[in-house]
Amino acid sequence: MSEAIREFLDRASPPTPCLVMDLDTVRANYLAMRGALPEASVLYAVKANPALEIVRLLAGLGSGFDVASPGEIDLCLAEGVEAVRLSYGNTIKKAADIAYAYRLGVRRFSFDSADDLENLGRLAPGSVVACRFLVDAPASGTPFGAKFGCATAEAIALLSRASSLGLRPAVCFHVGSQQRDPSAWLSGARQAVEIVKALADKGIDVESINIGGGFPVGYVTAAPSLEECVAAVRGVHPRLFVEPGRALVATAGTIRAEVVSIAQRADRWVYLDIGRYNGLAETENEYIAYRLTCSRPSTPDGPVIIAGPTCDGDDVLYQRTPYRLPLALRAGDRVDIQHAGAYTASYSSVSFNGIAPLATYFVGGSAEVGSFAGRHVLAELHGVEAAVLDDDGFLREALERSLKQAGATVCDVVSKSFDPQGVTVLALLAESHASVHTYPERGSVFVDVFTCGQRADPVQAVRLLGEALGATVSRVQTVHRGQS
Ligand SMILES: Cc1ncc(COP(=O)(O)O)c(C=O)c1O
């Protein structure tokens, strides 16, 4: 955990569970990736953590982006990233998704099947199309199995067809996420070179090789360095891409959770307020074993089974991986989950068991974003009970809680009730202001949240307020103000 995260958690004591991301660590990880393989262009795999703050920071540092869907394309474009900096890296896409991406200017796609290639030929003319082949490598921490990638021979045939369709052939592979064996990249590089040579023999040029992501993080034990992983890739092609997700964001995030209860049966069960469905999806099959630190002194300790808060039998984090936690651990104690910035918030369910998605707070990064910058979110809420919209105490409390959970610093909240009905609530924030104006007779509310800087997320504040009021949120507009 970085000092900035520790300082924020001590000072703000946000409701748990929550994820705190240090943008300075994201920047350092990006620069380390660039340093390890300077000849490669970086495409950040947005799925690892799609927070706007991260996309904006990396865009400012010159990164490109690996996007998996129209939603991720929209997210990057909304942050001002040019479409030519995007690569549609998901091999599973509808024809309509290809058409959408192409219409918006995306010209780089991955594929691994004849069907997808024919769609690309028809709907993305002239684009660079990278054929993903299956790497002959040991399984990774979170393996893809045989879901993606064709055999080397098929890749050669598909790329020959791509060339005849007027597309620009390229090659890509992914050794599996959290790959701890650097020889995997050596295998990938060898197979890629074999494909490039076979195509050269047919007079077909390969535009680039994308060596994917998969770079491992030292969750509990140290992981091989980036330099070891990419050693075999240097110089294999004049145009290289890397597509890291985990390696850029995992170490930048800490999840703060809380012990809900402890049951002593044949085993000692520790139930946390975070589990498989609200952020720790990668504990499936106990693939990722996070390092946990507790607010209690660590000794004496004893073995535990660790489980999440939902009524689902699968929501057990670790029962085979040996974990030990302090014997003095009690309900209400804090548990910090380290290196949790990747594949956590983005995997969190919308409301399984009525549990809200994992809230994210940001620290650091101010040097990149400048201080004269903010987001103004305007929205309408509908379908709220009239009594709620006339209850100024409840509205003040709901607005304050939503703003705090979204990272804002609330200095004051005032309200005014009107005759015969309706309330205006105004929150004074260190980041600027927020307001709510209600129409009980219609069940509707105008909401307006303006926050400067990067710490608070006004979109999240509006969403949380909508949840608190049981409302449908509509007509959300975001106006970026000041420096972009
Ligand atoms: C196509 C693609 N590229 C890159 C990544 C990022 O991988 P990692 O987070 O292991 O670096 C993924 C992860 O699933 C992926 O599917």
Measuring from atom 14 of ligand 1, which residue has the nearest CA?
Answer: 177
Atom of ligand 1 nearest to the CA of 90: 1
Give the mutation target among 41, 42, 47 for probing the ligand 1 site: most ligand atoms within 8 A of CB: 47
The reply to whether 13 falls in a domain is no
* CA contacts within 13 A on the Cβ side of 112: 18
Does residue 190 form part of some domain? yes
CA distance 168 to 159: 9
- The answer on 85 and 212 residing in a single domain is yes
Of the candidate ranges 33-47, 134-148, 204-218, 233-247, the one whose mean pLDDT is the lowest: 134-148
More confident residue, 321 or 369: 321
Does residue 30 belong to any structural domain of this protein? no
Per-residue model confidence (pLDDT) at position 368? 38
Give me the residue label for tokens 């085979």: 320
Q: Are residues 67 and 125 in the same domain?
A: yes
| Statement to judge: residues 212 and 98 lie in one domain | yes
3 state DSSP class of 295 = coil
Contact between 21 and 49 (Cβ < 8 Å): yes
Would the CB of 244 count as within 6 Å of ligand 1?
Answer: yes
DSSP state, residue 263: E
Q: Domain with 259 in it: what CATH number? A: 2.40.37.10
Q: Is 412 helix (H, G, I), strand (E, B) or coil?
A: strand
What does pTM read for this prediction?
Answer: 0.78
Q: What percent of the chain has pLDDT over 90?
A: 84
Average pLDDT, the chain: 94
Q: What is the Cα–Cα distance from 118 to 265, expressed in whole angstroms?
A: 58
**Span from the CA of 241 to the centroid of ligand 1 (angstroms):** 13
Tokens of 322: 């040996």
- Give the count of domains, the chain: 3
pLDDT value, residue 369 = 38
**pLDDT tens digits along 268-318:** 999 999 999 999 999 999 999 999 999 888 889 999 999 999 999 999 999
CA distances from 464 to 27, 276, 459, 470, 471 (A): 29, 21, 9, 10, 10
Q: Could you tell which of 26, 49, 66, 181 is best to mutate to test the pocket of ligand 1, judged by most ligand atoms within 8 Å of the CB?
A: 66
Q: Would you say 214 and 140 are in contact if contact means Cβ atoms under 8 Å apart?
A: yes
Beta bridge partners, 325, equal 302
The DSSP secondary-structure symbol of 282 reads G
Ligand 1 pocket residue status of 67, Cβ below 6 Å: no
Backbone φ and ψ of 183, nearest 5°: -65, -15
Mean pLDDT calculated for residue range 36-41: 94
In a domain, 232, yes or no: yes
DSSP string, 206-238: ---EE--------SSS----HHHHHGGGTTS-S
Residues 383 and 282 in one domain: no
Lowest mean per-residue pLDDT among 103-107, 153-157, 359-363, 364-368: 364-368
Q: Ligand 1 centroid to 367 CA: how many Å?
A: 28
How far apart CA 295 and CA 297 sit, in angstroms, is 7
Q: Is 247 in the pocket of ligand 1 (CB under 6 A)?
A: yes
> CA of 117: how far to CAs of 146, 160, 212, 460, in Å?
19, 11, 19, 38
Both 196 and 270 in a single domain? no
The CATH number of the domain holding residue 215 is 3.20.20.10
* Ligand 1 center–CA 184 separation, angstroms: 15
Question: Do 124 and 188 have their domain in common?
Answer: yes
311 is catalytic: yes
pLDDT digits (tens, 9 = 90+) for 346-384: 999 998 999 999 999 999 876 333 457 788 999 999 999
Query: Which among 354, 380, 397 is the end of a domain?
Result: 354
Q: Is 66 in the pocket of ligand 1 (CB under 6 A)?
A: yes
132 lines ligand 1 (CB under 6 A): no
- Which residue in 131, 311, 411, 452 is the catalytic one? 311
How large is the angle between the packed helices 23-36 and 52-60, nearest 10 degrees?
40
Pocket-testing residue among 54, 174, 343, ligand 1, by greatest number of atoms within 8 A of Cβ:
174
Strands 334-337 and 292-294: antiparallel
Measured in angstroms, how far is the CA atom of residue 271 from the centroid of ligand 1?
A: 30
Same domain, 187 and 293: no
* Residue 107's pLDDT band (cuts 50, 70, 90): very high
pLDDT at 453: 79
Residues 6+ apart with CB under 8 A from 433: 426, 427, 450
**Which pLDDT value is given to residue 407?**
82
Give the domain CATH number at 393.
3.60.90.10
Among 43-52, 131-140, 178-187, which stretch is predicted with the lowest mean pLDDT? 131-140
Q: Are residues 219 and 86 part of one domain? A: yes
Ligand 1 pocket member 343 (CB < 6 A)? no
Residues 139 and 203 in one domain: yes
- Write b or e for each residue in 104-114: b if 16 or more Cβ atoms lie within 10 A of its Cβ, otherwise e: eebbbbbbbbe
In a domain? residue 370: yes
Answer whether 89 contacts ligand 1 (Cβ < 6 A).
yes
The pLDDT of residue 232 is above 50:
yes
DSSP state of 122: H
Alpha carbon of 218 to ligand 1 centroid (Å): 17
pLDDT in tens, 57-83: 999 889 999 999 999 999 999 888 999
**Helix%, strand%, coil% for the chain, nearest 5:** 35, 30, 40
Q: How many Cα atoms within 13 Å fall on the side-chain side of residue 142?
A: 18
Mean pLDDT of 101-105: 97
Tokens of 218: 């030292």
- Measured distance CA(407)–CA(431) in Å, rounded: 10
The single-letter code of the amino acid at 293 is T
> Cβ(174) to ligand 1 under 6 A?
yes
Backbone φ and ψ for 43, nearest 5 degrees, come out as: -115, 105
98 in any annotated domain: yes
Last residue of a domain, one of 354, 384, 418: 354
- The three-state DSSP-derived secondary structure of 4-49 is HHHHHHHHHCCCCCEEEEEHHHHHHHHHHHHHHCCCEEEEEEHHHC
Single out the residue in 244, 278, 309 at which a domain terminates.
Answer: 244
CB 194 within 8 A of CB 152: yes
Ligand 1 pocket, 215 CB below 6 A?
yes
Report if residue 12 sits inside a domain. no
Q: Would residue 126 be called left, alpha or beta, if left means φ above 0 and alpha means ψ between -120 and 50 degrees?
A: left
Closest ligand 1 atom to 144 CA:
14
- By most ligand atoms within 8 Å of CB, the mutation choice from 112, 171, 177 for ligand 1 is 177
Q: How far is the CA of 468 from the centre of ligand 1 (A)?
A: 35
The answer to whether the CB of 308 is under 6 A from ligand 1 is: no
Q: Tell which residue, 41, 451, 25, 96, has the closest CA to residue 242.
A: 41
Same domain, 65 and 152: yes
Residue 65 lies in domain: 50-244
d(CA 254, CA 256): 6
Sheet holding 410-417, edge to edge: 410-417, 423-429, 432-439, 444-452, 373-382, 472-482
Nearest atom, ligand 1, residue 248 CA? 11
Q: List the one residue out of 108, 119, 198, 118 whose CA is nearest residue 151.
A: 198
pLDDT value at position 459?
A: 87
- Complete DSSP assignment for 127-155: -EEEEEB-------SB--TTSS-B-HHHH
Q: Is the CB of 344 under 6 A from ligand 1?
A: no
Question: Would residue 217 count as lying in a domain?
Answer: yes
pLDDT at 484: 46
* pLDDT tens, position by position, 330-343: 999 999 999 999 99
Eight-class DSSP state of 99: H
If asked whether residues 468 and 337 sit together in one domain, one would say no
* Ligand 1 mean position, distance from CA 143 (Å): 11
- Residue 142 CA, ligand 1 centroid: distance in Å: 10
Whether 262 and 240 share a structural domain: no
Please state the rounded mean pLDDT for residues 322-335.
96
- pLDDT the model gives residue 370: 41
